[in-house]
Every structure is written in structure tokens, then in C-alpha cells.
Structure 1
Amino acid sequence: MKNKIIIEILEYLKLLLIVLVITTLLNTLVFTFSTVKQSSMETTLMENDVLVIEKLSMIFEAPKHGDIVVFVEDEYVTDDYLMKIRVLYEDMIAKFTGHSKRMRLVKRVIGMPGDSIDIKDGYVYVNGDQIEETYTKDLTFPSIIQYPITLPEDNYFLLGDNRDVSRDSRHFGLVSLRQIEGKALFRIAPLNKIGSI
């Protein structure tokens, strides 16, 4: 009887370990969930929207113009998968303790490596052409960066859609590809807004 209980406990532990490994792999390599905490992407994304962040395609292709991405603002997340797993578990613990080490932001890709970015008279220019931005109602004004700027390899220029309140590449500079965790593809909450972004 005692041996049967031990075997049963071991089976449950094995199952728990398998679930933990699968969840870890899914969250570090395939997808995760993120909640919008600010108004910098309104009206495309609203505060408290819950997004599915797709990570798998980042292994094969870099973000493109117009993609909405989630990135870590102040810390480079390396290509080392053990570090990604560590970050995942630190973030999970932070949700319970309320002491997060990392600030994640959601922004739109405006400039890619090699692009020349300029901001003039309230409009954004990429490679000399004014871009049409139907997703923003505000004019865009520069901040600390000198324009025009040419983006080096593996660097991106990201802006929020709500330009009047967004803290973005105009304020903290370019974002490295290594900081970008994934693309926001789908909204799962609130229920009346479920769908692709």
C-alpha cells in the first residue's frame, strides 16, 4: 500500500514536470499573453486589453513596418534560451510579489534597420517619403533625437499610436532586435473586442 502511494505521487510529480516543461517552452518560444497598461497605443489598443504575443516567427523573420511589438525597455534579453527561461520565471514570481524588474512596452514599428527616419512639421518620413498613418489622430513631434536618423543594423524606431502621450523612440532612442520579444497579433479581452489586431 505504501509503495503504491509513493508510485502514485511520483507519477503526479512526473506529470507536473512535463506540464511545466511544455508551458515553459510555449511561453519562451511560441506565445505569451500581455496586458496593455498605458494609453500610448490608443485607439488601436486600449488600457487593459489582453493580447496574444506571438514569438515563434521572431526566430525566422524580423519585425516589419507597421507591426505592433512588445519589447523590454531597459534590459537586453539575450538569445540564450536559459536566460529567457530565467526571465520567464522571474516575471511569473513578480506577478505574485508585485515587484517587476522589467518594463515592457507595446509600440508600432515605424523604422527598420537601414531606414532613414525624419520628423518634420508633425509628420513622419521614412526614406524621404511621408508615411500615411491612419491609426493616429495626433501630429508627431520630435523629442531628444536629432533627425534625420539612419537606423543601424538590428535597430528599430518604434512609436506609440497616441503620439501626444506616448513615450517611445523619440524619448529613449532606438530599440535593439534583442529587446523585442514578439508581435501582438490577437486581442482576447475585453470580450467585445476579441479579434486580430
Structure 2
Amino acid sequence: MNLQFILGNFALILFVAMVLTGIVWCLDVFYFARQRRAAADAALAAFDARNAKLSTEGIKVDNTSRQSIEAAILRQPTWIEYSGSFFPVIALVFILRSFLYEPFKIPSGSMVPTLVIGDLILVNKFTYGIRLPVLNQKIIDVNDPQRGDVMVFKYPDDMAQDYIKRVVGIPGDKITYENKRLTVNGQEVKYTALPDFLDEESPVYHKQYMEGLTGVPHRILNDEGKAVINIDQVKNFPHREGCTYTVDKFTCIVPPGNYFMMGDNRDNSSDSRYWGFVPNKNIVGKAFFVWMNLGSLGRIGSIH
């Protein structure tokens, strides 16, 4: 585990912070607070004894300082006070983002037009099963990813990076991509031409289609004149022996426990065509909602 992985794994940082603040909180509740209470009781007993003696000697005593003495002794040290205050907040955030929902920001245009740069999305962490935080080890099965799902996962070549693509192939599928059209298990995917899409980041126009991937229609983009795949950029990934490549076509058989991912911006996406399959252990969750885009509030809504 290197420094880059640690810095890129916010869940690990959050977990360490929760543990450290939790230890301080427990020590204060079960040890330091009792010590302060004992010290305060001793000081108050001495204060009361002194006042009682002065009273017997006919000297008027002032009891107004008794509360201030107690408050001063019982006051938490600053480092304990801050740790105790942060602990429940950090613990709540850790539980929410580890087991329920985690926010992400879209950094690239590989999923245009479904998702654009700057989209702030929510990812459901329990759709595909309950996983141990940090270790990302599944402990309870719920559902498996389905074709058409938009899924967040750990990039196989760098587990510190989170990627988002669309599930095109599930275990056992035979995926063929020819002339920029998908065929899944011998069944040609239906495409409906749509008006050209203007990519405002470039800005250029792309050919736009509605892709009916196993009953999950969604928009995809293609660029005329670009090759189906640049073979020189294909890596030697695990299970590559199950794939065949030519200039205008490739075919892959998805191995057990793995998924074939593609970006909706087909000619501008680094995906399973180039770096291989996504194993089950890399799954983070299913993207389902755009909750904010500061540049375009109209982007808010469900992800299809």
C-alpha cells in the first residue's frame, strides 16, 4: 500500500480519522471524564471544608465561586473537545458513504451525453451487495450488475482511481463491436439515429444514437472517420486471450466474475476495449442520480 493509494482512497482517510477520534472520545467518556470528576469533587470538598471553618470563626464566606471552580476542572481540554465533537459527524459520514450512498464528480467526457464534466452524482453502494469499507470485500450478496447499468468501479490498473462506465457485458457474454455497433451473444443491438450532439467542451458535433442495449435505451455518441479501436493502445490485460482484435472489429468473451465496460462517448473513452475487464472486487456501486451541476442546474435528475 503506497502513499499515492492512501491519498487517493478517501474512505481509508475517513476510516483512520473515525478510529482516532473514536479512541479519544472513548478515553474521555470512560477515563478522562471520571478523572476530572474526581478532581472536581476533591476540590469542592476542600472548598466546602474551608468555608465551613471560616463560618465557625464568624467570617462571612462567598459561595459564588464554587460553580466556577467546578466548571473549570470539568472543562475538556481543547484537543479532547474537538475530537469528541468530530467523532459522531465523521462516523455518520463514514457509514453513509460506505454502505448507502457516495458522491462523485464527473471529471471527463467519456460518458457524454449521459454524464458531462462537472456533474455531481450519487452512487448506490448497496445495489450490488454490502461490502466492507476500505477493503471493498463483499459480505452480503444483493444484486449483480446488469447490462445497461452505469457503474462506478476501481480502475484495474490503479485502484486509487474511480472510473465510471456503462456495463455492456456480464460474465459469459460474447461482445462484438463492429462498424461502431454492438452485438451481444449474437443479438444485434438496435440503434436509432438522433440529431447530432454539440459537445460544448470541444465544441464539435458528434453523431448521436439511441442504443437499445437489452431493453435499456440510452444515448451514445460516435465520431465519423475515427477507427473502431486503436490497436496500438490495447494493453496486455488479464484474460485478453478471450479477445480478438482487428482494425474495424473486436470480439471479447467476458470471463466469470468480470464485466465489460464502455463509455457512452464511444470514440472518446478509455474503457474495457483498451485495458480489459472489471473484476467483481473492483465494483464500487451503481450511479443513479445527478444531484448538482453548478454550470447547468437543468442537469439534475436520474441517470439512464
- Structure-1 residue corresponding to 2:143: 61
How far is 1:149 from its partner?
2.0
- Structure-2 residue corresponding to 1:92: none
Aligned residue-pair number: 173
- 2: distance between equivalents of 1:41 and 1:167? 10
| Secondary structure at the counterpart of residue 137 of structure 1 | strand
- 2: distance between equivalents of 1:180 and 1:76? 13
- 1: distance between equivalents of 2:103 and 2:155? 17
> CA separation of 1:40/1:9 partners in 2, compared to 1, >3 Å: closer, same or farther?
closer
Query: For the Cα contact (< 8 Å) 2:120–2:290, is it kept in 1?
Result: yes
- Structure-2 residue corresponding to 1:120: 178
Query: For the Cα contact (< 8 Å) 1:75–1:179, is it kept in 2?
Result: no
How far is 1:58 from its partner?
1.6
Are residue 70 (structure 1) and residue 152 (structure 2) matched? yes
Indicate the structure (1 or 2) with the bigger Cα radius of gyration. Answer: 2
Greater relative contact order structure (CA < 8 Å, 6+ sep): 1
- Structure-1 residue corresponding to 2:87: 17
- Structure 1 segments of 4 or more deviating over 6 A? none
Moved more, 128-137 or 153-162: 128-137
Are residue 194 (structure 1) and residue 300 (structure 2) matched? yes
- Cα distance per residue 1:34-70 (max 9 Å; x no partner): 1111111111111111100111112111211111011
Please state which structure has a larger fraction of its residues in strand.
Answer: 2
How far is 1:116 from its partner?
0.9
Length-normalised TM-score, structure 2: 0.52
- 2: distance between equivalents of 1:40 and 1:8? 47
- Structure-1 residue corresponding to 2:219: 135
Out of 271, 283, 301, the residue aligned to residue 168 of structure 1 is: 271
- 1: distance between equivalents of 2:291 and 2:300? 5
Query: For the Cα contact (< 8 Å) 2:263–2:269, is it kept in 1?
Result: yes
Please state which structure has a larger fraction of its residues in helix.
Answer: 2
Query: For the Cα contact (< 8 Å) 1:76–1:178, is it kept in 2?
Result: no
Out of 229, 235, 256, the residue aligned to residue 153 of structure 1 is: 256
Moved more, 152-161 or 117-126: 117-126
| Secondary structure at the counterpart of residue 43 of structure 1 | coil
Consecutive unaligned residues in structure 1, runs of 5 or more: 78-101
- Cα distance per residue 1:58-99 (max 9 Å; x no partner): 21112111110111113686xxxxxxxxxxxxxxxxxxxxxx
Query: For the Cα contact (< 8 Å) 1:69–1:184, is it kept in 2?
Result: yes
| Secondary structure at the counterpart of residue 171 of structure 1 | helix
- 2: distance between equivalents of 1:13 and 1:124? 54
State the identity as a percent.
30
Q: Once superposed, what is the RMSD of the aligned Cα atoms? A: 2.3
- Structure-2 residue corresponding to 1:93: none
How far is 1:3 from its partner?
2.9
- Cα distance per residue 1:10-32 (max 9 Å; x no partner): 67643421221221111112111
- 2: distance between equivalents of 1:37 and 1:9? 37
- Structure-2 residue corresponding to 1:81: none
Consecutive unaligned residues in structure 2, runs of 5 or more: 1-70, 130-141, 191-210, 212-217, 235-242, 245-249
